[in-house]
Each structure stands twice: as structure tokens, then as C-alpha cells.
Amino acid sequence: MPEPEKSTQDQNDETEINLSKAMPITASLDETIRFTYKDVMETEVDKRYFLRRLKKELGHGKINFDVEMRNDDFFLKFDLAGSVFREEEIISVFKRFLSELMNARMWNAHTGRPMMYIHEKSGIPLIGHTAFGIIVRGTNVIEVRPISGCPLQCIFCSVDEGKNSKSRQMDYLVDPDYLFQEVQKIVEFLGPRGLEIHLSGQGEPTTYPYLAELITRLNSIEGIEEISLQTNGILLDEDGVLALEKAGLTRINLSLNCLNPRKARALAGTSNYDIEHVKKLIDIILRTKIKLHVSPIVVPRVNVDDMNEIIQYLKKMGLGRFYKAPLGIQNYLIYPLSRKVKGIKPWSWEEFHDFLHELEQKHAISSLILDKKRDFNMVKRKELPKPFRKGEVVMAEIKALGRIKGEILAVARNRIIQIIDGKKKVGSTVRIKIERTKNNIFTGRLIG
């Protein structure tokens, strides 16, 4: 009869703890350990330094540590030659160390760009920039942008997103407590009635690791009647949708630009885009209380005919089950830093509207030209006060690198001011001439 198999501990007097079970973490190992936390926050540390630190903090110099990856899980291994310690102690030391590492250096796992964690003590306000924080455009809709960066790189992306972006240098992730607290202040200002939170951003909001938690909290604020999410859908699955529904999400605006798998991948700029997944997602969303609005971008000569297929598909899925405005086709527009589709001239608004009218007639559907009030209950509300006038010269402090290459972020009077082509160090005080103030989004130019 064969000997019973010995436990790991019996074999080599060693034991281990699976840290991926204790927290949402994965890692890649060589001389350096690269950690990914909650699928998006990435940091790295020299392996020898990591083991030395653990030995110092936990082993009192007696216990030896090592690390191993097994089936995508990160194991911390240690011998028991010295004393025995509790698992919670190890986890707590590891969490502290990880947060120290992330504070020092963090990347967005989807884009590979450095990512800054913006929290209450960072000294960076949440109003003033378009890449993160809060935007209020004088209506009842509060745009909340919790994270920047996107796993896709659509060929027409208006914010040049994705890991091959030529213009973006930085991503941001806003602390959920800070974001919640600042949204509350806006709600107080606007009055607690008829408000919508729209989760969007320069990127994909579902990469935000605290999304469901944030929605749950926003849903508890009096006066918030709609919580909507703009998404490309690739990171959402059934569990994710159900979690968002439970949290209080009321509408999803889903991008869907074509149904042909090859062309859809080409439009998304990545072979990882799976249109079948997005189609399944539509079916999942339609089985929840979440309203669905599909919002394709039509690029002349590229996916014009695909709009017919999309309409037919949505009709087959039962338009009555969608949001009252099931489809919001958008015109491909070019901005100074957007990604441009080679050789394609955008349609004028007139050409675009003619195209929508044709579709309406052809498919016997009404109102493809959307009306913000009728279709999204958007109404005017008082504007947030602007602390600067256009042309005013203000003193400000440089707080961080900006989103676009060459951009820096200055802060004054509780607002962020974007300075393009600013060559000043973080921490320096500068004079800025304010050049834009619309919707409390500020840009300025260094002077003096």
C-alpha cells in the first residue's frame, strides 16, 4: 500500500498563504514583482527588497520568505523555523506595503500609463478638468468621471484612448469617498430633486474598481433619480450587471458600432474586442430593470450600412424593452486631439441629419434625432459659480502632471486649471492667464 501523501508542511517544513484569495490581486514574477490590484491598479517592486521587507516586518529576522505564482494566484511561502504568526498579521502587513508601493508608483493596467490616485489630501479639487472628477454644465445632469483610461482604442476615439495613445501621458483614479463627498456638495447646491448622475469619462468607467460601491452610495442621496453609465460593455458580465442593478444603476448607454466581428474589432482597434460578448450583454441588460440605450458612432464610408443591421438587430431584440430612446446614433467628429480615421471627412450636421431621416423612414422608427429634454429629461439648472473670469491673471500651484503630453495641472480657488505646454515643476507657484471658463472647465497659459 502506498504511503499517504504528505502535506506541504510535512515535506519541507514550509507553509504558504494565497494572497490572491485574501484580496483581489494578481502578480507577475521575475527579478521584479508586478502586482495588479482590482484588475486596474498596477505597481512593482524589486523581489529581493520585497522579501527583505517582509522578513523585517514579520519574521523578526528568523523566518525566510519566498513568493510563487500558481494558477494565477500569488502565494507567499515561508518556513516555520522561527515563530508562528497569524494569517491576518501577514495580510495586514502586505496590504500596508502594497498601498505604500501604489502611492509611490502606480500604472493603469489597461493603458500602461502612470496613474495618479486622487484623494481628499492630494490637494487636487474635482472640478475643472475633463478627464476626472465632476462636470456640471448648467443642467440637472452631474457628470461623474471616476477614472480615465480605456482597454479599447477605437479608430475614431475623441479622446485618443487606449494603450497606443499618442497624446495621453497620464491616467487618474479618484478615491470613492472623496468623489462621493464632492458630489454631495453639488447636489446640495443644485437642490435635491430631479437629478441624474452620469458616469462617464475619458475612457471606460467600468474599469473603476469601486463602481458598484460608488453607485450604491450615490443612490442613497436624496434627489438623485437616475444613475446612468456610459460603457463599451467589454468588462461587464452577468454578475457585473446584476451587481450594478442592485447598487441602483438605472440606465446603461452602450456603445455598439457594428455587428460584424471582424469589422467590430477593426473599429475598436484591438483583437480583444468581442462583439458576441456585447450582444450577450444586451440580452442580459434587457432582463434587468436597467434601461438600455445603444449609442453607435457612424463614420462616413466605414460603418454606414452597419447602422441598418444594428437597427434590425435591436428591433429583433424588442425595441419596447429598451429605454424610451433606444438608439442614439452619433456623428463622427474630429477634435484637435482625437484619433482620426485616415482619409475620412466627417459629415456636416446637415448630412448627418439627412442620414438619420433616411434610416427613420427605411425602418419605420421615429426620433433618431434625439432631444435632450424629451429623451433624457435634461433640464437647465443654475450654474456653478466660476471663481475666475476669462482673461484674469491668477496665482496657482502646480500639483500634478496633466493628462496630455506637455500638460500640467495647476490648482487655485478650489479648481483645477489645465496648462498645455507648461514646463514647470510640481510644487512651484505660477502666474496663469485664464483662457477658458465654460462649464467650470478651466484652461490657462503661464505668464511672466
Q: How far apart are CA 334 and CA 332, in angstroms?
A: 7
Asked if 171 is part of the footprint of ligand SF4 (rule: CB under 6 A), the reply reads no
**Residue 364 and residue 315 in contact, taking contact as beta carbons nearer than 8 Å:** no
The three cell numbers of residue 329 are 446614433
Closer residue to ligand SF4 in complex, CB, 232/250: 232
Site string for ligand SF4, 245-274 (x = CB under 6 A): ----------x-------------------
Of the candidates 109, 94, 180, the residue with the CA atom closest to the CA atom of residue 144: 180
Closer residue to ligand SF4 in complex, CB, 110/399: 110
Closer residue to ligand SF4 in complex, CB, 202/443: 202
The three cell numbers of residue 174 are 479618484
Closer residue to ligand SF4 in complex, CB, 228/255: 255
Q: Which stretch binds ligand SF4 (CB under 6 A): 50-58, 158-166, 239-247, 376-384?
A: 158-166
Asked if 161 is part of the footprint of ligand SF4 (rule: CB under 6 A), the reply reads yes
Closer residue to ligand SF4 in complex, CB, 157/310: 157
What's the min distance (Å) between Cβ of 236 and ligand SF4? 13
Residue 195 identity: L
Q: How far apart are CA 158 and CA 201, in angstroms?
A: 11
The three cell numbers of residue 192 are 435635491
What's the min distance (Å) between Cβ of 201 and ligand SF4? 8
User: Which residues neighbour 185 within 8 Å (Cβ) at sequence distance 6 or greater?
Assistant: none
What's the min distance (Å) between Cβ of 219 and ligand SF4? 25
Of the candidates 182, 129, 137, 134, the residue with the CA atom closest to the CA atom of residue 159: 129
Helices (H), strands (E): how many in the chain?
12, 22
What's the min distance (Å) between Cβ of 442 and ligand SF4? 23
Among 25, 90, 126, 150, binds ligand SF4 (CB under 6 A): 150
What's the min distance (Å) between Cβ of 165 and ligand SF4? 9
Q: At what angle do helices 275-286 and 261-268 cross, to 10 degrees?
A: 100
Q: At what angle do helices 211-219 and 176-190 cross, to 10 degrees?
A: 30
Q: Which stretch binds ligand SF4 (CB under 6 A): 37-45, 149-157, 274-282, 354-362?
A: 149-157
> Total number of residues binding ligand SF4 (CB under 6 A)?
12
Asked if 407 is part of the footprint of ligand SF4 (rule: CB under 6 A), the reply reads no
Q: Which stretch binds ligand SF4 (CB under 6 A): 50-58, 101-109, 159-167, 359-367?
A: 159-167
Asked if 157 is part of the footprint of ligand SF4 (rule: CB under 6 A), the reply reads yes
What's the min distance (Å) between Cβ of 447 and ligand SF4? 34
Task: Identify the sign of the CA torsion 124, 125, 130, 131.
Answer: positive
Of the candidates 269, 281, 273, 274, the residue with the CA atom closest to the CA atom of residue 245: 281
**Residue 298 and residue 292 in contact, taking contact as beta carbons nearer than 8 Å:** no
CB atoms closer than 10 angstroms to residue 196: 19
What's the min distance (Å) between Cβ of 330 and ligand SF4? 10
Asked if 111 is part of the footprint of ligand SF4 (rule: CB under 6 A), the reply reads no
Q: Counting beta carbons within 10 angstroms of the beta carbon of residue 431, is it exposed (0 to 12), middle (13 to 18) or buried (19 or more)?
A: middle
Closer residue to ligand SF4 in complex, CB, 234/394: 234
Closer residue to ligand SF4 in complex, CB, 45/155: 155
Q: Which stretch binds ligand SF4 (CB under 6 A): 45-53, 153-161, 387-395, 435-443?
A: 153-161
Among 19, 40, 141, 152, binds ligand SF4 (CB under 6 A): 152
Among 36, 111, 140, 153, binds ligand SF4 (CB under 6 A): 153
Task: Identify the sign of the CA torsion 351, 370, 356, 257.
Answer: positive
**Residue 161 and residue 107 in contact, taking contact as beta carbons nearer than 8 Å:** no
> Cell 496633466 belongs to which residue?
402
Max Cα distance, the chain (Å): 89
Residues 181-240 that bind ligand SF4 (CB under 6 A): 203-204, 232
Provide the binding-site residues for ligand SF4, judged by CB under 6 A: 150, 152-154, 157, 159, 161-162, 203-204, 232, 255
